[in-house]
Structure 1
């Protein structure tokens, strides 16, 4: 992992370069020489926050329609125990 540091002025002048730098690690943005913000890729952000996709996001994934799904019939599922 590579940590990149840019001043806020450099970030404003070339935000695209800072975004590309997040592919190899976090980008620290400084203000008057002190770290002020951190720019991360979305994958890294989700990894460190433990965020999971919502069911809506999971079901709208590209290529999902190509997955074959054969859920068991309801008569094949276990039934609750009858204690009467």
Structure 2
């Protein structure tokens, strides 16, 4: 996945479009991912099955996933 800054995107939109032809382009704003540029082909492919994002991210109930949450002991400093 390609990445470019918002400034680079604004300076050279054509380069961003060429990169999006190869795959998703993450556009950052102040160093943080802010947007994703997709070709229309990829965008349509994402929505062609008619399933929602929640359905796409949901797992089958019969799949067992091991998960060990890390315990965080947070305290508020006294003033």
Whether TM exceeds 0.5 here: the answer is yes
Q: Which TM bucket (shorter chain)?
A: 0.5 to 0.7
Q: Which SS does the other structure have where 2:23 is aligned?
A: coil
Q: TM-score when scaled to structure 1?
A: 0.56
Aligned positions, number: 50
Structure 1 residue runs of 5 or longer lacking an equivalent are: 53-84
**Bigger Cα Rg:** 1
1:51 and 1:15 mapped to 2: Cα distance?
30
* Cross-structure match for 1:68: none
C-alpha RMSD of the superposition: 1.5
Q: Which SS does the other structure have where 2:22 is aligned?
A: coil
* Cross-structure match for 2:42: 44
